[in-house]
Amino acid sequence: METIRGKVWSLPDDVDTDIIIPTEYLALPTVDDMKKFAFSPLRPELAGKIEAGDVIIGGKNFGCGSSREQAPEIIKHLGVSCVIAKSFARIFFRNAFNNGLLLIEQPDLPDAVKEGDEIEVRMDEHVIIAGGKEFPIQPLPENLMEILAAGGLVKAMQKRNGR
């Protein structure tokens, strides 16, 4: 059973892929070049403050907008351990897992946590926030856990095919 601990960064409802990584930065040569511009239209300082293991907490419809795969890939390259939101846009949800980024839907937690809090995620069980309050989370299907463990869909298929 995996446990994740991290500091919370809070974002509002309807954070779209143009906010996660604006179009003008997609021409940069690498994801590492792009990641410093993550969330810049909303919070220009945020990418520079996120540390490895931190957790992004979002509202409803996180990742809406275009289907650009760079959006979840950049979040992962920032070192974010997972994104917990009230809900996710479906194409972002799939792209995130394909890129090895853990997403957790939990509709009540975003309103109960504040930026800077430390939280603990116990996979397939619950999330514990400051003060000890627990929020249940649904177990992920085995195939998604395999994709995450491998680091993304391509790596999972390579592993499955003995490459």
Listed residue (74, 71, 78, 112) closest to 93, CA to CA: 71
Q: Where does residue 38 rank: exposed (0-12), middle (13-18), buried (19+ CB within 10 A)?
A: buried
Cβ–Cβ < 8 Å for 92, 42: no
Listed residue (65, 72, 53) closest to 7, CA to CA: 53
Domain that holds residue 128: 3-160
What's 142's domain CATH number? 3.20.19.10
List, for residues 17-68, the tens digit of each pLDDT value. Answer: 999 999 999 999 999 999 999 999 999 999 999 999 999 999 999 999 988 8
Of 160 and 119, the one with more pLDDT: 119
* Percentage with pLDDT > 90 across the chain: 72
List, for residues 63-83, the tens digit of each pLDDT value. Answer: 999 888 899 999 999 999 999
Query: What mean pLDDT value characterizes the chain?
Result: 93
Cβ-proximal residues to 29 (8 Å cutoff; 6+ apart), any chain: none
The pLDDT score that the predictor gives to residue 114 is 94
* Percentage with pLDDT > 70 across the chain: 99
Domain tally for the chain?
Answer: 1
